[in-house]
Amino acid sequence: GEDELDARIRAAKQTLGDRVVVLGHFYQREEVVRHADYVGDSFQLANAALEHPDAEAIVFCGVHFMAETADLLSRPEQSVILPNLAAGCSMADMADIDQVEDCWEQLADVLGPLDEADADGRVPVIPVTYMNSSAAIKGFVGRHGGIVCTSSNAATVLEWAFARGRRVLFFPDQHLGRNTAKAMGVPLDRMPMWNPRRPLGGSTAEQLEDSQVILWHGFCSVHRRFTVDQIDQARAEHPGVRVIVHPECPMEVVDAADEAGSTDYIRKAIAAATEPTTFAVGTEINLVRRLAAQYPQHEIFCLDPVVCPCSTMYRIHPGYLAWVLEELVAGRVQNRIRVTSDVADPARVALERMLAAKP
């Protein structure tokens, strides 16, 4: 039962002490998050991994790309453990390295050599990948002068990229790319989409030449479910409601909301509200429920009444957490996530560019 698992996890953590650090993403279920030494968004958790060079093991309660990132940023002797190897991210899986390499070749056919800078020192395209992507993709980006972003620094990173390239190729999340670029003043007709299943991504050569941001055809299956109708309904039923959504939501939803921001932005906006307020939130249900419990002075609900949790985040069941911790106690490392050095070196370059990019 749940109590027994809880006791097993506590006991194993106590035995391991400082030898292990447990990281938990905001979208993890309550029975897991309560055991995390750090809870945060993907950017904060990447930093938390950096800040624990002495821990032998980093147990990452999140999804596969996050554990890979932690492995890139941690020391080689440290093992990063993903309690359930089936916890992937469907969005990250939408940009596969072969498709991205193929896209790059096709873009070179249209735009000319992609590593040649023009008179103002800018290359034709800078690749930008959302943190929610495989290490292989981050490595690709690092090898081609590009950078990683998260939902909390996407605008800063796009500015970095526009200073170095005439265009940006943004993947995997079309919505984060579109919402961020639009807020920076990039017109929609200069953001063609790249669908990897079509020649030239389904755009024309002219559209690609004239583009400022080329958007990869990827999305988050949780955030794309939110609708403008849900926002209209929340406003009708709760006059004065503050609507905050994650930038992985479609553009019309972000436009209809009062604010959009990363999971940590949402948390801070609610924490900073001094007057009792009604918040309708467009993000994953576990985070919304936790915020509602944490801030009882406010009324906080999820925009989607029948929202399902992120099904892959949910694969980190406390039973797996207990298992990997008990194995560590027994001296065995299970479910280690390791990025090979051919990928890790350039991927680290792309991540370090992100960590150094200033607003």
Residues 6+ apart with CB under 8 A from 71: 80, 135, 337, 338, 339, 344
Q: Is 262 in the site for ligand 13P (CB under 6 A)?
A: yes
| DSSP code for 145 | T
Q: Using CB under 6 A, which of 20, 28, 42, 316 touches ligand 13P?
A: 42
Chosen residue from 44, 179, 203, 312 binding ligand SF4 by CB under 6 A? 312
Residues in Cβ contact with 332 at an 8 Å cutoff, skipping those fewer than 6 apart: none
Q: Give the integer Cα–Cα distance in Å for 39 and 22.
A: 9
**Minimum CB separation from ligand 13P for residue 258, in Å?**
18
Of 356, 357, 353, 359, nearest in space to 138 by CA? 353
By a kind-dependent CB cut-off of 5 to 8 A, residue 324 interacts, out of ligand 13P, ligand SF4, none, with none
132 annotated to a ligand binding site: yes
Nearer to ligand SF4, 27 or 226 (CB): 27
Closer to ligand SF4 by Cβ: residue 107 or 284:
284
SS3 state at 117: coil
Q: Based on CB atoms, which residue is closest to ligand SF4, 221 or 277?
A: 221
Residues 91-110 that bind ligand SF4 (CB under 6 A): 91
- The interface partner of residue 150, options being ligand SF4, ligand 13P, none and the CB cut-off 5 to 8 Å by kind, is ligand 13P
State which residue, 221 or 227, has the beta carbon closest to ligand SF4.
221
Choose the one of ligand SF4, ligand 13P, none that binds residue 312, judging by a C-beta under 5 to 8 angstroms depending on kind: ligand SF4
Dihedral angle sign, alpha carbons of residues 226, 47, 339, 326: negative
**Alpha helix positions (H), the chain:** 2-16, 30-33, 42-50, 64-73, 97-111, 135-143, 154-162, 174-183, 205-209, 228-237, 251-256, 263-272, 285-294, 318-329, 341-356
What is the DSSP code (8-state) at residue 155? H
Q: How far apart are CA 213 and CA 328, in angstroms?
A: 46
221 binds, among ligand SF4, ligand 13P, none (CB under 5 to 8 A by kind): ligand SF4
Site string for ligand 13P, 81-100 (x = CB under 6 A): --------x-----------
Question: Interacting stretch for ligand 13P, rule CB under 6 A, among 36-44, 46-54, 140-148, 272-280?
Answer: 36-44
Q: Which residues, 6 or more positions from 311, have their beta carbon under 8 angstroms from its beta carbon?
A: none
Contacts (CB under 6 A) with ligand SF4, residues 148-187: none
Which residues belong to the annotated binding site for iminosuccinate? Answer: 25, 42, 130-132, 151, 246-248, 263
Q: Which residues bind ligand 13P (CB under 6 A)?
A: 26, 41-43, 89, 132, 150-151, 220, 248, 262-263
